[in-house]
Amino acid sequence: MSSGADAVARMRGVFIGSLSGAISIAAHGLGGGTVPSDEAIVVLLAATAVVGVVVASVRGVSNKLPVLAAFLAIGQGIGHLTLTLASAHAHGLDLTPQMLAAHAAATAVGTVLVRGAERSLLSVIGSVVRTVVAVLSTPPVPDIRRWTPTVVRSLEPTTSRVARAAGGTRGPPALSW
């Protein structure tokens, strides 16, 4: 697999992992959950990082829309489970209709966003990064120039100040009384 495809797979993993965490927090709040504690957020970050790594390691079929939607749904399920188990309150593992709707809408929108980012944004970023790396990796060429005299101004006797002050270029200077 080319390095460009590897970069796309890694970015897909980052996108899906981070979206899973963010959507889990938002849907948890919409479903009536309280603000997660610091410990719950740390556990959620670890869980969604694992989701991102797993998504980035899957090759081949992972760029299809149903597969991306499944990855997002699984990531949100892991995020919801993590927030439920790590929170101080226990509302159980049941999902309210509002929470299910929020997860479903976020899965649909997130899938379209990740696929759009893969198609357009990542190709542009990849070409820019390749260009920057190519420019920065070429060794600098030393600028060695040989010294050559450059004539700035040529003095012609008829136009020089000395010749004009003397009255011309014929004969010795005249004595003025």
Predicted confidence (pLDDT) per residue in 90-113, tens digit: 555 666 777 778 788 888 888 888
- Identify whether 65 is part of a domain: yes
Q: Per the domain annotation, does 157 fall within a domain?
A: no
Q: 32 in a domain, yes or no?
A: yes
pTM of the model: 0.60
Domain assignment of residue 30, given as a range = 3-137
In angstroms, the CA 110 to CA 114 distance is 6
Q: Is residue 121 part of a domain?
A: yes
- Name, of 57-66, 72-81, 139-148, 152-161, the range with top average pLDDT: 72-81
Residue 152 domain-assigned (yes or no): no
Residue 125 falls inside a structural domain: yes
Q: Is 23 part of a structural domain of the chain? A: yes
Tell me whether residue 146 is in a domain: no
Over residues 3-54, the pLDDT tens digits come to 666 777 888 888 888 888 888 888 777 766 667 778 888 888 898 899 888 8
Query: Among candidates 80, 85, 104, 81, which has minimal Cα distance to 24?
Result: 80
Please state the domain count of the chain. Answer: 1
Supply the pLDDT for residue 1. 45
**Close Cβ partners of 42 (under 8 Å, ≥ 6 residues apart):** none
